[in-house]
Amino acid sequence: MKYINLLMVLLSIPCIMGAGKKVVGGVVATVDGTPITLYQLDQRVEILKQKYPDSRDLKKKALDDIIDDELIFDELKTMGASIEKSDVDNAIEQMSEANGVSIDSLKADLKKKGVDFGAYKDEIKSEIARSKLVSYKFRTEITITDDDLQRYYLAHKKEFTGVKQADISHILIEVPPDTSPERQKKLLVTADTVIAKIKGGESFSAAAEQYSDDKYTKKSGGYLGYVEEGSLYPVLNSAIFKAHPGDILGPIRTPVGYEIILINGFKSSELLPMKDVKEKIRNDIYASKLDDALKNWLLTKRQKAIITIYNELL
């Protein structure tokens, strides 16, 4: 569900406190005396289903997240920080605008998926709280050295390797959507004839100017330039990036018609220079270190907190 693309990725921390007691009044757990209800748990599970549709049992993660939320809320309270109702409302409005939907549409979509709008607002509040805690406690503690950047760069070479490109020209024999089968056969014959003429000695450029239905490239001899691997129709992508310079491919049927392709050459994928990806690396390392700092802080808080889990309803 696109609406639940929030402020930061939730951390899943294993529960480490007592379990096995009877459920009291629909309470599934307590954190330093603060109750977590079955309703809260069920609603968080429904929200997580939208984030992790392939996961089966999300109750443990949902409970872990709610426990972490309570620890974070308690810490913010100790620090004198708070999450106002206006903070939550503004965040929801911004996300709704970014997704191009109204609040009413969001409510209707959530209801259809079994999520109460109040529970959704609680989720947003939790996300804001995590972001605020990270900002207050950890941002100034994170340092990134040049060695960190270099190690990350060398360990993620594949991520920073550019996409292979093919330099191509093409001739399009257009097949409109309402073309009859008989007409399609005639257009295929035309495409075969054009290929035969090119292989018989006619220049590809001249053939493109005479036969191509692509009005944007026919005057330049059908020249398209460099295209990235994966950017074309799959049937074209597969044929082009298995070919060799000078090959004439086709006719290849695509949704727009029959394509005849000339392979002018290839540009090999290359490792991007460090200077071009340095800021991305810095941001990736920063986010990772913040996640680690929050995870370690939560583990410490769990060890000091009194957490009781009643697993009868889990």
Tens of pLDDT, residue by residue over 119-146, are: 999 999 999 999 999 988 898 889 999 9
The structure tokens 């529960």 sit at 15
Per-residue pLDDT for 3 more than 70? no
The pair of three-digit structure tokens given for residue 241, joined into one six-digit string:
């990036």
> What is the C-alpha separation between 167 and 264, in angstroms, rounded?
5
Which bin fits 93, alpha (ψ -120 to 50), beta or left (φ > 0)?
Answer: alpha
Peptide bond into 255 cis (omega under 30): no
Q: Which CATH number fits domain 165-267: 2.40.40.20, 1.25.40.20, 3.10.50.40, 3.40.718.10?
A: 3.10.50.40
Q: Which among 27, 32, 5 is positioned nearest to 17, based on CA atoms? A: 32
> What is the C-alpha separation between 129 and 149, in angstroms, rounded?
29
Hey, what amino acid is at 34?
A: T
pTM of the model: 0.60
Domain 27-145+275-313 in CATH 1.10.8.100? no
Where does CATH 3.10.50.40 sit in the chain?
165-267
Where does CATH 1.10.4030.10 sit in the chain?
27-145+275-313
Tens of pLDDT, residue by residue over 226-256, are: 999 989 999 999 999 999 999 999 999 999 9
Question: CA 273 from chain center: how many Å?
Answer: 25
Per-residue pLDDT for 4 more than 90? no
Tens of pLDDT, residue by residue over 46-98, are: 999 888 887 778 999 999 999 999 999 999 999 999 899 999 999 999 988 88
Identify the pLDDT of residue 217: 94
Q: pLDDT tier at 23 (50, 70, 90 boundaries)?
A: very low
Tens of pLDDT, residue by residue over 250-280, are: 999 999 999 999 999 998 878 889 999 999 9
